[in-house]
Structure 1
Amino acid sequence: MNAGKPSEASPDALEFEYDLAEPPEKVWRALTVPELLAAWMMPNDIRPEIGNRFVFAGTEAAIECEILDAEPERLLRYSWREQPGDDARQDTLDSVVTFTLARTVSGGTRLRIVHDGFAGKAMPAVAMAGAGCRLSLGLHGRAKPVAANLPNTLLLAA
């Protein structure tokens, strides 16, 4: 399955697309440099190399990930395995996150984010994720509101 293509994402995928002024090099750094990624997500030890396993230090439990695909400044895909953080939720959340970057005519980036297999199992976590992450790129009215864990620090820090 290629979650980076809209036609192949599952029905329970969360999908977002944005046109960003920043070039793909800067967006790639924000997604793959541990300190920059931690500024808007969670502490982590990511290395964008296929097969590399890394962990996000979640608030309730660690989120175990593995790099499934990495093409610098073009594509980053990793598995997302979240163990239940409380006794009420018994199922493990196994999903895949895909970031697709494409240079725009103006030199910016068209960023597509797909979190496949997430929404159907984790609707309570959707609210938690929104509350736990800063959700603004500081677009100041020039585009639609930004969601899906894209904070101002994602690009400012890179």
Structure 2
Amino acid sequence: MNAGNQSEATPDVLEFEYDLAEPPEKVWRALTVPELLAAWMMPNDIKPETGSRFAFAGLDTAIECEILDAEPERLLRYSWREQPGDAGDPFDSVVTFTLARTVSGGTHLRIVHDGFAGKAMPAVAMAGAGCRLSLGLQGRAKPVAANIPNTLLLAA
């Protein structure tokens, strides 16, 4: 596993890239099977079909999402709308996962969460879900990025 690198992007974008030993099929499952996604993110009812709506059960409020693009084992993009309690305006952003098979049969994973415009709190909440990429190496994985949870790739 190569450690993730946060690229230099615009101030309202979080962007990470990883080279994973696991094939795109396994990474896709970790991103799109509700039980597997819940293990590292939050409870949800995701259906990886363009146009479908789903929600994450956030700590204080539900996070409403809509699948904008879904190409199995290649691309998953969804809107992320988080309505703070009494804090004011909703937080609207877009999360994109791009998967590409590497020459060794693993996956190059690129994650982009854009639309922050100075509202970093949801990124911090997302980071609280795990902060480590495990790949089944319980207790041995090094932290690689703030918004990569520790059980992302435990999918079969």
Q: TM-score higher than 0.5 here?
A: yes
Q: TM-score scaled to structure 2, two decimals? A: 0.84
User: Runs of 5+ in structure 1 lacking a partner?
Assistant: 1-5
- Describe the superposition over 1:26-59 as per-residue Cα deviations: whole angstroms up to 9, x where unpaired: 0000000000000000000000101000000000
CA distance in 1, matches of 2:123, 2:49: 28
Q: CA deviation at 1:12?
A: 1.0
Q: CA deviation at 1:148?
A: 4.4
RMSD: 2.1
Q: CA deviation at 1:123?
A: 1.7
- Larger relative CO (CA 8 A, sep 6+): 1 or 2? 1
- SS of residue paired to 1:154: coil
- SS of residue paired to 1:147: coil
After TM superposition, the structure 1 = structure 2 runs for residues 59-70 of structure 1, keeping only pairs within 5 Å, are: 59-70=59-70
Percent identity (aligned): 77
CA distance in 1, matches of 2:106, 2:149: 17
The residue that corresponds to 1:3 in the other structure is none
Residue pair 1:93, 1:121 contacting (<8 A) in 2 also = no
User: Runs of 5+ in structure 2 lacking a partner?
Assistant: 1-6
Q: How many residues align?
A: 146
Q: CA deviation at 1:125?
A: 3.2
After TM superposition, the structure 1 = structure 2 runs for residues 44-59 of structure 1, keeping only pairs within 5 Å, are: 44-59=44-59
Name the structure where helix makes up a greater proportion of residues. Answer: 1
The 3 A distance-change label for structure 1 pair 91 and 121 is farther
Q: TM-score scaled to structure 1, two decimals? A: 0.83
Residue pair 1:41, 1:149 contacting (<8 A) in 2 also = no
